[in-house]
Structure formats: C-alpha cells, structure tokens
Structure 1
Amino acid sequence: MPMRPEAFLDHIQERGEYRTREEAARVARVVLALLGAHLVGTVRAQLAARLPETYALILLNPLQAAEPLSPDRFVRVTAAWIGGATEKTALWDVGAVLSTVAAAAGDALLSEVLLQLPPGFDLLFGHPQPT
C-alpha cells in the first residue's frame, strides 16, 4: 500500500524542518530523480509501489546517471540541483527524503535497495548497516 501523498510530504517536511509542503515536495523530486538513476529492475519497481504516484513516477523516470554516485557525490549533485543549497543543507535534504523513503519501504525492501547502491548510502537513509 503506497504512502498517501500528504503523509509522505508531511513526513519530509517534519524531518527536514521545511516551512512549507512545497519546499518538501521540491526537495523530494530532486532526491528521488537522482535515487531512481541508481536503482534497477524489480527493486526500483517495488520501491515505487510504496510511494505516492507522483513520486513513484519520478523514481521510475529518473535523471540518467553516467555512473553510480558515491554518497558524497550524491549529496553534491543534489546541492547543485536545489537552488540555493549548500552541501550541508543538501545532506539535510537527502536525509529528510531518504529516511522517509526508508520508512515507506520497510526493512526488507530497504536492504535490497542498499545492495544496489554504493557503500555508505545506509547512513543517508538513516539506517546504518553493520559492517
């Protein structure tokens, strides 16, 4: 069952301490577009199925990534796409969105998502994995 759009954005707005839901939505679109470029196949489809339709479509039609981005580069690219963002604010933005995605995904699916991502993304999702 996908998370309702209002609940999804409220969660991001609360986690990111954004003033408006629109700000939360803007950040969510950028982070999900970048995340979608890193995921493939059934894992991406299953994750999309847990998100509100608008955001599922962004995840399924991502920006093209020439190569998988390390967590640091993912944050840097996010900063470049969000007007006025710095690396520090982008790290905050990424955390707000990905922790919400993690909550929507559940532990089993999140583990599969993390297997498709470069090491260190577990921290961006707020779910450090034992090494």
Structure 2
Amino acid sequence: MISDRHAPSRQPYGTAYEQMLEKVRYEGAYPTRERADEAVCLVLAGLGRQLTGDERVDLARCLPPEAARVLTAQIPDPQPLTGWAFVKDLAARTGASLATTRWDTGSVFCAVAAYAGADLITRILHELPTGYGLLFGRAELTQAA
C-alpha cells in the first residue's frame, strides 16, 4: 500500500475528482479506486513540491478541487528535482519500488495532462528540470552540441 505521510487526509469526493480517479484507475490498471486515489495523492503532492509560479496556479485551476488542494498544500522545494530524481524521491517516501512509482507517476500525469491541456503542460515542462517530459508521455529532445 502506497501512502505519503505528508499528503492531507481525504474527505468525500466531488464528481470531477471521481472522474479523475476513474481515468487514473483505467490508465494505471489499478484494481480499486482507493489505489488510484493513493497514486493521485502521492504524485500530486510530489509535483506540488516541484512546481512554482504561474504554472502551479494555472494547473491548480484546471484540476478538480480535491486534486488542486493536494498540489497546493505542498511547499515547493528550493532545488527542483530532475524527472528521475522525482520518481526516486517518491519511491523513497513510500517504500515502493522504482518501477511501481514510475507507473504511478505516468498514470497520474496522463490524467493531469488531460485536465491541463497541451499548452499548459508545455509551459510546465519548460519550468521543470529535464526528465519530466517522459513522465508526461512526451519525447524529450535535446540539441546536439
């Protein structure tokens, strides 16, 4: 069971959040809605520690209120993590394997991207260190030296 002790406790959900959980449950092939909720809370709390500025505010506006609260309840880290370090940090917080945590991250980010839209995700990726593009299901191309 995955849990992040820094994630807020959950209350009854609104319809939009229920739909988000169903999308994450489908994308992640999770057996229960509770498992999808755990993944959403873990990954959005982690993203909340990485994202700052207008992108953070704009993303929170796009998400269902329950998801936005998880994202914005976190204090951003002064030194953002790369995409791979982000996954390793989440795995260390929960004791889950890197593969499971990577799966959770991709499943949640797929739903987040659906709410946020391509333009906002592009802005977010420009603000974060390298490695998040792949987590959002996008190729990361680098320029040749």
TM-score, structure 1 normalization: 0.90
When the two structures are aligned, how many residues end up with a matched partner? 128
The RMSD of aligned alpha carbons is 1.6
The answer on 1:125 being equivalent to 2:131 is no
Looking at CA atoms only, which structure, 1 or 2, has the larger radius of gyration? 2
**TM-fit CA distance, 1:80:** 2.0
* Cα distance in 2 for residues equivalent to 1:35 and 1:121: 10
**Aligned position for 2:109:** 98
Partner of 2:30: 18
Unpaired runs of 5+ residues, structure 2, are 1-14
1:116 maps onto 2:116 in alignment:
no
- Consecutive unaligned residues of structure 1, counting only runs of 5 or more, are none
The amino acid that maps onto 2:52 is V
Inter-partner Cα distance in structure 1 for 2:75 and 2:57? 16
Q: How does 1:1-131 map to 2 (within 5 A)?
A: 4-83=16-95, 85-131=96-142
Following TM superposition, where does structure 1 have runs of at least 4 consecutive aligned residues deviating by more than 3 angstroms? none
Seq. identity, %: 39
Q: CA deviation at 1:129?
A: 4.2
Q: Distance in 2 between matches of 1:61 and 1:67?
A: 18
Equivalent residue letter for 1:70: T
